[in-house]
Amino acid sequence: MVVLTTGGTIASSPDDSGRNRSGALQGDVLMSRVSLPEGAAIDVEVRSLLQKPSNAITRDDLMRLRRECQALAESPDVAGIVITHGTDTLEETAYFLDITLSASPTIVLTGSQRAPHEPGTDAFRNIADAVMVAASDEARGLGTLVVFNQSIFSARQVRKVSSFQVNGFAAPEAGPLGYVDGARVCVAMHPARPEALGLPADATLPRVDILPAYLDASPTLLEAAVAGGAAGLVIDGLGRGHVPPDWLDAMPRITAQGIPVAIVSSCPSGPVHTSYEFLGSLASLEATGVIAVPDLSARKARLALSVLLASANGEVAAPLRTLTA
């Protein structure tokens, strides 16, 4: 078992002001305080890969993590991989690894809402649970997982749902796959998991920007993003996939440049759908070349689009439409 640490609240220590200094603890210091359940004979190797809060994780960091996991997967001695991570972007890293790596060995991400020095910290319980899941036969073949607050989630479905409570993650539509109770790992559901997307090991993930649609939002933001270097756009749309009517003027100019534009729903539940016909509806957007992505959040659709743009064949629209949460 290999534990890769990347920083975050789970690796924080207090500074002189009493605030948390994110990512300050090295991996070996963090793991020295973790107690596995009695009878759990699991050899754990710890590697400190990054020391930063997760708001500072970059696309290059994602590729580095992927290469590390790929190298570990080639070793027959590695039964599973645990990655400790800040919670702000944990769901994005988990999703990226899930869509670009095979299902073996099991990769589990975890973090904490309370720092190791804070009363009632969830740091060490979450790490112990993640190790148990990564080592378990029950989790094999499920893809990248997130373990938090004794619950097991698929990376494709999980979202951060609280900024501070220990039940910080959930899968709002699908629910958890199972749970961890000490030494017992229970998996009740197996997620649908399409094959991993192809991505060259030396690829550079292009920049894809997320643009939220809201009441009277300016369309100038769209063209500003493209002018600033975005290789693709994801619109976090209203309801069933709608935008203000004057966004329609900018769309053909952007898609005509070969820049893919995808749209998802900003609603926590429910897909985009061509249920309406008016200026700014999903039907009118699709007529300009916008790609409807039914079942992904904007943050996940952005990563999927970036991976597809970086892949060898460069096909975007068809595989993006078929990706599901």
Indicate if the pLDDT at residue 60 is higher than 80.
yes
Instruction: Catalogue the long-range contacts made by 21-27 (C-beta closer than 8 Å, 24 or more residues apart).
Output: 22/52, 22/53, 22/86, 23/50, 23/51, 23/52, 23/53, 23/86, 24/51, 25/116, 26/51, 27/3, 27/84
254-291 pLDDT, tens per residue? 999 999 999 999 999 999 999 999 999 999 999 999 99
List, by residue number, the catalytic residues: 9
235-256 pLDDT, tens per residue? 999 999 999 999 999 999 999 9
pTM of the entire structure?
Answer: 0.96
| Buried-exposed string 127-142: b where 16+ CB fall within 10 A, e elsewhere | bbbbbbbbbbebbeeb
Given pLDDT bands bounded at 50, 70 and 90, which one contains residue 325? Answer: low
What's residue 15's pLDDT? 84
What's residue 282's pLDDT? 98
Interval 121-143 mean pLDDT: 97
Given pLDDT bands bounded at 50, 70 and 90, which one contains residue 317? Answer: confident
Indicate if the pLDDT at residue 218 is higher than 90.
yes
